[in-house]
Amino acid sequence: MKDIQGGVCAPIGFKAAGIHCGVRKNKSKKDFSLILSDVMCNAASTYTQNKVKGAPIYVTKEHLQNNEAIAVLCNSGNANTCNENGIEIANGMCDLAAKELGIDASDIIIASTGVIGLPLSLEPFETHMHELVESLNENGSSDACAGIMTTDTVQKEYAVEFELDGKTCHIGAIAKGSGMIHPNMATMLAFVTSDVAISKDMLQKVILEVVADTFNMVSVDGDTSTNDMLSVLCNGLAGNSEIDEENDDYQVFKDALMYICTCLSRGIAKDGEGATKLLTCHVKNACTTKDAKIVAKSVITSSLFKAAMFGKDANWGRILCAIGYSEANLDVDKIDVELGSVIGKFIVCQNGRGYPFDEDVALKVLSEDEVEIFIDLHDGEYAATAWGCDLTYDYVKINGDYRT
């Protein structure tokens, strides 16, 4: 498996585009994106668990009842959520694209991201649908990625190449994240394309397995959005024999998808609103996987710990505190904690007690833009990893006046 360029257009038979249609006021910001496969795809999605859901979520769920899709349509700047006529607008967007593309509206995955509760008109989409479709091309992934961004500061776009059944296969992806990122799907927008042939059942299975260890282990601010989802489209054009059971090919595809989704998750966490650094928390030797996940997420979610990391302050008491108020089963007196980065790592806590460390070394280690927390619970054999970011002045600034 190797990293390649091309994002969602890296797999065979995918085109993409992203343009400015006017939902966002700033004309230099793209706000309308399309991804299209040459042929029908098997498709699967996971959705936000928020009880308040954006209208596009309902429409996409309806469209994916047959687990097939050929295109993804998405706008940024307006979440089309808590609007009187949200469903009508989401359906209208699909109808416009279907007409222009000569496809069925029910084969479109529709998504929106941005402000909640702001009326959304069809007008900008009507005016610009032709232009969007005309812009579709095999190098369009980066434009499509730009069109789904909100407060993101960097594009999250990845692709890999691997071999299955003697055939060269690809997975590509784009994602937007930033605020409202918290464990429990689907806390961002991520669109994944592949030319692998895989059955609908196996695709549904693999997406759930991968999301549990990737997107659901990311937290930026503890808020779960109303609109976010992950969709995977597989068009089978790589020519491998279809994966229809949990065989070796399934494992190869799962590993590649896990890698791509881990890249997206790390990218989303590192580009959390206002973040200056990526925090990765590794928990090992927990008595169950669930306990390992609870501990890793609790640490990565603590506002006090996140603020300390912004301040490059090795205030490990806050790690112990966050472990302690989690619901995990553990023995406090067995806990070891190390902090590290590319420079090296140092022990801060052994058997639940403070362990002397050099403050100068600590400052250097914590000044890096990727910091790791290693927690050994000495209580079993299960492990988990969670990703988050520091809490900064800019998070407050960005969210103190998001609408204007």
Q: Which of 33, 45, 75, 81 binds a second copy (CB under 8 A)?
A: 81
Query: Which of 303, 358, 369, 370 is the binder for a second copy (CB under 8 A)?
Result: 303
Does the protein bind a second copy through residue 239 (CB under 8 A)?
Answer: no
CB 374 within 8 A of CB 342: no
* By the rule CB under 8 A, 118 interacts with a second copy: yes
In whole angstroms, what is the distance from residue 388 CA to residue 97 CA?
36
Q: Where is 402: in which H helix or E strand?
A: none
Site for a second copy contains 122 (CB under 8 A): no
Helix 248-270 with 200-213: angle, nearest 10 deg: 40
Interface with a second copy (CB under 8 A), residue total: 63
Q: According to the binding rule CB under 8 A, does residue 289 interact with a second copy? A: no
Which of the residues 46, 48, 187, 224 is marked catalytic? 187
The Cα–Cα gap between 324 and 320 comes to 6
CB of 129 to a second copy, least distance (A): 26
Cβ closest to a second copy, residue 80 vs residue 235: 80
Question: Least CB distance from residue 402 to a second copy, whole Å?
Answer: 6
Query: Cα separation of 87 and 151, whole Å?
Result: 25
Residue 397 found at the interface with a second copy (CB under 8 A): yes
Q: Which amino acid is at 113?
A: T
Residue 404 binds a second copy (CB under 8 A):
yes
Kindly state whether residue 325 participates in binding a second copy, applying the rule CB under 8 A. yes
Tell whether residue 321 is a contact of a second copy (CB under 8 A): yes
Say whether residue 224 binds a second copy (CB under 8 A).
Answer: yes
**Tokens at 325, concatenated:** 């108020």
The window from 68-76, 198-206, 208-216, 314-322 that contacts a second copy (CB under 8 A) reads 314-322
**3-state SS assignment for residue 314:** coil
Please indicate whether residue 187 is annotated as part of the active site: yes
Dihedral sign from CA coordinates of 299, 177, 156, 255:
positive
Strands 278-286 and 336-341: unpaired
Q: Which residue numbers are catalytic?
A: 187
